[in-house]
Amino acid sequence: AQSVTQPDIHITVSEGASLELRCNYSYGATPYLFWYVQSPGQGLQLLLKYFSGDTLVQGIKGFEAEFKRSQSSFNLRKPSVHWSDAAEYFCAVGPYNQGGKLIFGQGTELSVKP
Amino acid sequence: EAQVTQNPRYLITVTGKKLTVTCSQNMNHEYMSWYRQDPGLGLRQIYYSMNVEVTDKGDVPEGYKVSRKEKRNFPLILESPSPNQTSLYFCASSFVGQASGANVLTFGAGSRLTVL
């Protein structure tokens, strides 16, 4: 079955600390992987995506993610978290070139301590 | 400005009273989709459309209808809403195929629906 698992429902980090959000997927074909962020009361915004090539991808707002095929993972990282990063983060997987038929994970809520 | 517009943003209704949530995009996207977001469950796809007059069920289609008569519009219809349809709904759209940005969903701001 195709699925995305985000093991951490809620994470709290101190401002300035590093961040890693975990994402594991199960997908039968070559995956097209995404991270989206949802700020309170807002829709989802794309942070970054990966289909092929360099397994370390850079996104907006200083985020990056690393694709590890052997571990079926696509973890999101940021070296230094800012208070404005507090939001909910969603990992998603889908087929390439077939529109946005994505499977989303359950989401990880990030809180940032001053 | 390129965007997906949903209306209404907030709605409280009663069981059985038909309602429609509209969705419109101005990016000439072929693909449109509806998701519902519930705590602990992430986003689950209700229906999607690959182009005009082409729609298909997602993972949780029961109790919903959609239509795609025009490329820009993709309304979500709840014929007889029930309390278990209380949720946050998102419409999203994207290109399909080799177009730049294919598969990258642009989301609306969401519609919070409460069914009493």
Chain A residue numbers with beta carbons less than 8 Å from the beta carbon of B25 are none
Asked if pLDDT for residue A97 goes beyond 70, the answer is: no
Q: What is the CA B36 to chain-centroid distance, rounded?
A: 8
List, for residues A26-37, the tens digit of each pLDDT value: 988 778 899 999
Q: What is the DSSP string of chain A?
A: --EEE---SEEEEETTS-EEE--EEE-SS--EEEEEEE-TTS-EEEEEEESSS-SEEE-GGG-EEEEEGGGTEEEEEESS--GGG-EEEEEEEE-TTS-S--EE---EEEEEE-
Interface test with A, best of B4, B103, B111, B112 (most A CBs within 10 A): B103
The pLDDT value given to residue B78? 97
The rounded distance, in Å, linking the Cα atoms of A112 and A27 is: 32
B14 by DSSP, 3-state: which? coil
Which residues in chain B are closer than 8 Å to A41, comparing Cβ atoms?
Answer: 109-110
User: What's the confidence (pLDDT) of residue B81?
Assistant: 97
pLDDT of residue A58: 96
Residues of chain B with pLDDT under 50: none
Q: How confident is the model at residue A99 (pLDDT cuts 50, 70, 90)?
A: low
**Amino acid letter for position A73:** S
* Rounded alpha-carbon distances, angstroms, from residue A79 to A17, A76, B101, B102: 7, 10, 27, 29
**Is there a contact between A39 and A87 (Cβ–Cβ < 8 Å)?**
yes
Which residue in the set A45, A99, A107 is minimally distant from B94, CB to CB?
Answer: A99
Instruction: Give the confidence band of A17 by pLDDT, cuts at 50, 70, 90.
Output: very high
Query: Nearest chain A Cα to B6, which residue?
Result: A43
The answer to whether B23 and B4 have CB atoms below 8 angstroms apart is: yes
Phi, psi of A6 (to 5 degrees): -110, 105
Nearest CA in chain A to B4: A43
Is A96 in the B-facing interface, judged by CB distances under 8 Å? yes
Q: Do A90 and B97 touch (CB under 8 A)?
A: no
Q: B79 CA to chain A: closest CA distance, Å? A: 24
CB of A1 less than 8 A from some CB of B: no
Say yes or no for a CB contact (<8 Å) between B103 and A96.
yes
Tell me whether B4 touches chain A (CB under 8 Å): yes
pLDDT for res A43: 86
pLDDT of residue B74: 98
Residue pLDDT, tens place only, A43-96? 899 999 998 888 999 999 999 999 999 999 999 999 999 999 999 999 999 877
